[in-house]
Amino acid sequence: MENDRYKFRFWDEEDKKYTYYDSPWGMSRPYTETSTFPQYESCPRFHEGILERCTGLPASKSYRGNKPEDLLIFEGDKVLFIYNNKQLEMVVEWDICNPCFVLNARDGIRFEYDFIKGGDAVVEIIGNVHEEASHA
């Protein structure tokens, strides 16, 4: 799972769907060389969207399925965080002030990912911030 940290997904604002990539360079376009400048042969139409990073950590359960790639937690995922018999619905976000992934709840409760990785907490992916319904 070490390389899973370098996976990305792109939320397409127009088509309302995700595309998954193994690198941020996965969205390259075909081109041919003419003189020293690449000329694009066929430029696919790119939509507005949001690039989200993978945390590299797996969830114990996911609405996406049970395959290892379905269990990977991404930025923008809504998760059910279960710890000490308490359940909190939280969102995975990137903290730009203290560069790390965090879980944020609506009521101001917040956890850094180091706490989850080494603790007894259970994390289930129940949705994402772009789709309306949670799948809990």
The answer to whether 53 and 74 are in contact (CB under 8 A) is: yes
Quote the mean pLDDT of the chain: 77
Question: What was the pLDDT predicted at 38?
Answer: 47
What does the DSSP 8-state code read for residue 44?
A: P
Over residues 38-81, the pLDDT tens digits come to 444 444 556 788 889 999 889 999 999 999 889 999 999 999 98
Using CA atoms, how far apart are residues 51 and 19, in angstroms rounded to an integer? 10
Q: Averaged over 106-124, what is the pLDDT?
A: 74
Over residues 9-31, the pLDDT tens digits come to 888 888 888 888 776 555 543 33
Using CA atoms, how far apart are residues 71 and 74, in angstroms rounded to an integer? 9
Q: Considering the entire predicted model, what is its pTM?
A: 0.76
3-state DSSP assignment of residue 113 = helix
